[in-house]
Each structure stands twice: as C-alpha cells, then as structure tokens.
Amino acid sequence: MERKLFYIGVDEAGRGPVIGDMVVAGVLVHEEVIEKLVGEGLADSKKMSSTDRGRLYWMALSSGVVSVAIYIPPWRIDRENINDVEERVIGEILRVLGVISRINGLKQVVVIVDEVKGRDKRIRARAEEVLKSILHGFIMEKKADAKYPPVSLASVVAKVSRDTSLMALRRSVGGFGSGYPVDPETKNWILQIYSQGLSPPLFLRRTWGNLKNLAPSWYIAKRKKRAGQKSILDYAKGR
C-alpha cells in the first residue's frame, strides 16, 4: 500500500541578529521525500555549510516540497513582542499549507513546530482549525530542528531565504558580517555608520540592547503592551 503520510515542519531563522529580517518558514513534505533528503545529508541548518543548505533547498523544491517563507521586518520586531509575531506568522503558514493539503486531498498530516515559548496550546489549536480531520499529530518542542527532519528542512528554507536577502543587502551597503551583535565585523560596521552621523538604517533592529552602547541615539526602548491594551493589528482585525 502506498504511504500517504505528509509532514508540515515549521522553523525560523534570524531571531537574534541586530540586522535584517527574521524569516519563518514552513514546508509540506511527503515522508518518502523527507527520507530521501535525510539520505542526502539533511540536518539542522546550523550544522550545514551554506553550500549544502543551498543544495538541499533546491533538491527539496525539485522533489515537490511546498514551502512558504514569511519575512518579519525589523520595525515589526521593534514594535511587537517577538513571540506574538512569530505565533501569528506560524498561524498564517499553517493556514496556507492547510488549504494546499485539503485541495490536494491529503489524508494524514503531522505538524511539527520548533518551540515558541508559551504558545503551544494556541498554535496547536490553529493547526486543528485549519487541518481539521486530516491532522494526524502535533508536536512542538525545543530544538525540534535538530530532532525532526521536517523541521530541519524548514530551518534550511528559512536560513537560505534570510541569507539570500542579506546577500542583496550587502551589495547595497557593504559588508556587515553576520548581522549578530556579538560579531566584531557587525559591531565595527555599526560604529562606522553611526560615526558618520547618518540616520539609523531601516534594516536595523533598534530595540536590541547591544545597540545602546554602540549607537546610543539609534536605540529605542521597546514599549511593553499593557494588559487589555490593543495593538494596531488587533484593530485591523476588528478585535
């Protein structure tokens, strides 16, 4: 009998950097394809070279894997709780992949998500809402990208997507290293731009504490949302 189990894996890349978008990615993949990709070296994207990530990324797409990647810009990360943002984006990814699953007549889909702290119940409920009777299982665990190949694949998609956008950015503004605040090249780039008296770049996360010492006038404190206080997104959704 032909096996018809599919997986949805979800992970992010770029949660910690001071430069650039965070990318959340989801993949819809047949179990036989994920086994093939594991045989080709699929693992946690952090343990793979950029060359191998690119190779596995294109191999996955050519094997029929459906992927969705959503970019979360620095201004949104600065204005909102990052876990709130990630939860909403994961919900949208599950909605899109759920529609694709039902259109294609899939019968069994297992959802595996890398942990978003404190959001297990709500994301699980979202998976149940969009997948309904075809949801065959739900897992959310810390470091799921190192434990479950579908999440490893999502981490590869997220990482390749973010790295591609950073490559384009570097062509415009020059080398800024990895974009992580502990990277000396990133620190030196920020200090150099700041010393020129320029306005803070739009691709910079201005609420990151590391920025306070490097570029004091660029730093802004993130406002904490008070209990019961609505955000702009809440009003847009009619809540």
pLDDT in tens, the chain (239 residues): 456 899 999 999 999 999 999 999 999 999 999 999 999 999 988 889 999 999 999 999 999 999 999 999 999 999 999 999 999 999 999 999 999 999 999 999 999 999 999 999 999 999 999 999 999 999 999 999 999 999 999 999 999 999 999 999 999 999 999 999 899 999 999 999 999 998 999 999 999 999 999 999 999 998 776 545 454 444 334 44
Q: How many CA atoms lie within 13 A of 131 on its CB side?
A: 27
Q: How far apart are CA 176 and CA 162, in angstroms?
A: 15
Q: Which secondary structure element, helix H or strand E, spans residue 78, and what is its range?
A: helix 74-79
Contact call for residues 84 and 234 (beta carbons, < 8 A): no
Retrieve residue 52's tokens. 């191998």
For residue 238, give the 3-state DSSP assignment. coil
The answer, as to whether pTM is greater than 0.85, is: yes
Taking the CA atoms of 91, 70, 10 and 180 in sequence, report the sign of the dihedral they define.
negative
- The CA distances from residue 201 to 73, 101, 123, 189, in Å, are 12, 40, 33, 12
Which residues have C-beta within 8 Å of that of residue 15, sequence separation ≥ 6? 22, 82
Domain 5-169 sits in CATH 3.40.1410.10? no
Q: Residue 224: what pLDDT?
A: 73
Nearest to 157 by CA among 229, 56, 51: 56
If we measure between CA atoms, which residue out of 187, 154, 129 comes closest to residue 68? 154
- Count the neighbouring beta carbons within 10 Å of the beta carbon of residue 115: 16
Q: Are the CB atoms for 225 and 81 separated by under 8 Å?
A: yes
Structure tokens at 31: 């179990």
Residue 184 near residue 177, CB atoms below 8 Å: yes
Amino acid at 191: L
Per-residue model confidence (pLDDT) at position 1: 41
Contacts of 230 (CB under 8 A, 6+ apart): 239
Q: Residue 234 has what pLDDT?
A: 45
Q: Which one, of 63, 61, 60, 7, lies nearest residue 30 by Cα? A: 7
The whole-angstrom separation of Cα 52 and Cα 29 is: 19
What residues contact residue 3 under an 8 Å CB cut-off, 6+ apart?
31, 32
